[in-house]
């Protein structure tokens, strides 16, 4: 089953088609005038370009009209309580476009989240009721969720890989470029020009000294947004990793 489609992505697709065909129509209009005015023996070609002009602008107008008819189904994220507008009711989990967390969906409904306490640092974390483990945002360590009853209280806590990891930015998927840039803006707290400048220097390290599961989780979430990124082990124990170098 495909990821639920965001309304902004659907509108952008139709708007892009309208712009492309509008430009094609504009070129066809210019050629129509040139062949009609100066074509001489090729005067008849002006009629062909006139048809292309009318057809292109007609399709551009239809595409632009469809941007106003894209359905909107706002879904509130249970973590940040902001809405992500989809084109249809969601049937599977999707990534919130605001906090970038996975919104849990079951039978077409948003599942509630619960607050659990990290056994390592004591901070409170919000997790989906169907999650069996969580990664603390404060100490970056993973722990089982006992509140759901799926993990026995006496079970020892899983140990994360002690080797530090880093997230290496490789670029963005051109098919999701706008979505990827927006995700990087939120992650790095940068504006669009700064993110664009950052992409000119890939590959580069974005985040470093992360536990393996945290690095893999963030890499997976960013990949879903169209960011080409890789979680890599920091093999050299003497290296002092510095992000954005």
pLDDT in tens, 66-80: 988 899 999 998 888
Q: Under 8 Å CB-to-CB from 172, ≥6 apart: which residues?
A: 180, 181, 184, 199, 226, 227, 228
pLDDT at 59: 93
Say how far apart CA 119 and CA 201 lie, in whole Å: 40
Q: Is 231 exposed, middle or buried (0-12, 13-18, 19+ CB in 10 A)?
A: buried
pTM, two decimal places: 0.52
Q: 97-115, pLDDT tens digit by residue?
A: 888 888 888 888 888 888 7
Return the higher-pLDDT residue of 169 and 139: 169
Q: What is the pLDDT of residue 240?
A: 47
Average pLDDT, the chain: 81
pLDDT band at 161 (very low <50, low <70, confident <90, very high): low
Confidence of residue 162 (pLDDT cuts 50, 70, 90): low
pLDDT digits (tens, 9 = 90+) for 165-213: 888 888 888 888 888 888 888 777 778 888 888 888 888 887 777 777 7
CA–CA separation, 104 vs 78, rounded Å?
9
d(CA 126, CA 135): 10
In the prediction, which pLDDT does 74 show? 92
- Position 155 scores a pLDDT of 46
Share of the chain above pLDDT 90, in %: 22
Tokens encoding 70: 């894209």
Tell me the chain's radius of gyration from C-alpha atoms: 25
DSSP code of 87?
Answer: S
């Amino acid at each position: 089953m495909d990821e639920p489609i965001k309304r902004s992505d659907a509108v952008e697709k139709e708007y892009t088609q309208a712009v492309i065909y509008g430009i094609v129509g504009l070129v066809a209009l210019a050629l129509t005038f040139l062949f009609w005015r100066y074509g001489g023996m090729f005067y008849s070609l002006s009629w062909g370009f006139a048809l292309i002009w009318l057809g292109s602008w007609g399709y551009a107008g239809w595409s632009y009209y469809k941007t106003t008819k894209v359905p909107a189904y706002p879904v509130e994220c249970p973590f940040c309580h902001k809405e992500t507008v989809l084109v249809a009711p969601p049937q599977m989990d999707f990534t919130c476009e605001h906090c970038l967390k996975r919104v849990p969906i079951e039978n077409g409904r948003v599942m509630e989240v619960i607050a659990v306490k990290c056994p390592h640092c004591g901070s409170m974390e919000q997790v989906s009721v169907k999650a069996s483990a969580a990664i603390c945002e404060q100490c970056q360590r993973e722990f089982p969720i006992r509140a759901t009853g799926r993990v026995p209280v006496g079970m020892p806590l899983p140990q994360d890989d002690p080797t530090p990891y880093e997230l290496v930015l490789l670029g963005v998927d051109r098919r999701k470029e706008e979505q990827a840039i927006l995700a990087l803006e939120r992650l790095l707290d940068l504006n669009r020009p700064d993110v664009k400048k950052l992409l000119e220097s890939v590959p580069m390290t974005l985040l470093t000294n992360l536990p393996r599961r945290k690095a893999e989780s963030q890499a997976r979430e960013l990949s879903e947004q169209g960011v080409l990124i890789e979680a890599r082990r920091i093999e050299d124990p003497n290296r002092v990793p510095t992000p954005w170098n």
